[in-house]
Amino acid sequence: MSNEGNTEHIIKQRKTAKVLADAPWEASLTPIEQEELIKDLLELAACAPYHYKSASKYHTAGLDSPLPFRAYTMNSDVCRILAGKLQHMEPAPGKILNMLWAAEAVIMMTWLPDVFGAQPVEREMEPLPFTPFTGNLRNMEHIAASSAGIQNILLGATQKGFPNYWSSGGVLRQKAARQLLGVPLEEMLLGCLFIFPKDAYEKGVDIKPGKFHNDGKKVLTWSKSITL
Ligand SMILES: Cc1cc2nc3c(=O)[nH]c(=O)nc-3n(C[C@H](O)[C@H](O)[C@H](O)COP(=O)(O)O)c2cc1C
Ligand 1 centroid to Cα of residue 209, in Å, is: 9
Contacts of 203 (CB under 8 A, 6+ apart): 21, 25, 197
The domain of 140 spans: 18-210
Q: What is the pLDDT of residues 45-95, one digit of tens each?
A: 999 999 999 999 999 989 999 999 999 999 999 999 999 999 998 999 999
Average pLDDT, the chain: 95
Q: What is the pLDDT of residues 98-118, one digit of tens each?
A: 999 999 999 999 999 998 888
The reply to whether ligand 1 has any atom less than 6 angstroms from the CB of 13 is: no
Tell me which of 150 and 123 has the higher pLDDT: 150
Q: What is the pLDDT of residue 28?
A: 98
For residue 23, pLDDT over 60 is answered with: yes
pLDDT, mean of residues 123-130? 86
Residue percentage of the chain with pLDDT more than 70:
99
Q: What is the pLDDT of residue 133?
A: 80
36, part of any domain: yes
227, part of any domain: no
What phi, psi does 19 have (nearest 5°)? Answer: -90, 115
Is the Cβ–Cβ distance between 171 and 177 less than 8 Å?
yes
Is the Cβ–Cβ distance between 143 and 151 less than 8 Å?
no
Number of structural domains found in the chain: 1
Q: DSSP 3-state assignment of 223?
A: coil
Q: What is the pLDDT of residue 58?
A: 96
The reply to whether ligand 1 has any atom less than 6 angstroms from the CB of 15 is: yes
Closest atom of ligand 1 to 211 CA is 21
Residue 175: pLDDT band with limits 50, 70, 90: very high
The reply to whether ligand 1 has any atom less than 6 angstroms from the CB of 24 is: no
Q: For residue 10, which amino acid is it?
A: I
| Cα first-last separation, the chain | 41
Contacts of 179 (CB under 8 A, 6+ apart): none
pLDDT, mean of residues 116-122? 83
Cα–Cα distance, 176 to 124 (Å, whole number): 9
User: Which residue minimizes the CA distance to atom 12 of ligand 1?
Assistant: 167
What phi, psi does 38 have (nearest 5°)? Answer: -60, -45
Ligand 1 centroid to Cα of residue 59, in Å, is: 30
pLDDT, mean of residues 15-21? 98
Tell me which of 194 and 4 has the higher pLDDT: 194
45, part of any domain: yes
Any idea what the CATH number is for the domain that residue 25 is in? 3.40.109.10
Residue 12: pLDDT band with limits 50, 70, 90: very high
The reply to whether ligand 1 has any atom less than 6 angstroms from the CB of 167 is: yes
Ligand 1 centroid to Cα of residue 210, in Å, is: 6
112, part of any domain: yes
Q: To 10 degrees, the CA torsion angle through 152, 168, 199, 86?
A: 130
Has this prediction a pTM greater than 0.95? yes
The 8-class DSSP code of residue 134 comes to: T
Q: What is the pLDDT of residue 1?
A: 53
pLDDT, mean of residues 124-142? 88
Residue 2: pLDDT band with limits 50, 70, 90: low
CA 154 vs CA 62, 150, 170, 214: distances in Å: 25, 6, 19, 18
223, part of any domain: no
pLDDT, mean of residues 4-13? 92
User: Which residue minimizes the CA distance to atom 16 of ligand 1?
Assistant: 210
Q: What is the pLDDT of residues 182-192, one digit of tens each?
A: 999 999 999 99
Ligand 1 centroid to Cα of residue 85, in Å, is: 25
2, part of any domain: no
Cα–Cα distance, 176 to 188 (Å, whole number): 15
User: Which residue minimizes the CA distance to atom 10 of ligand 1?
Assistant: 167
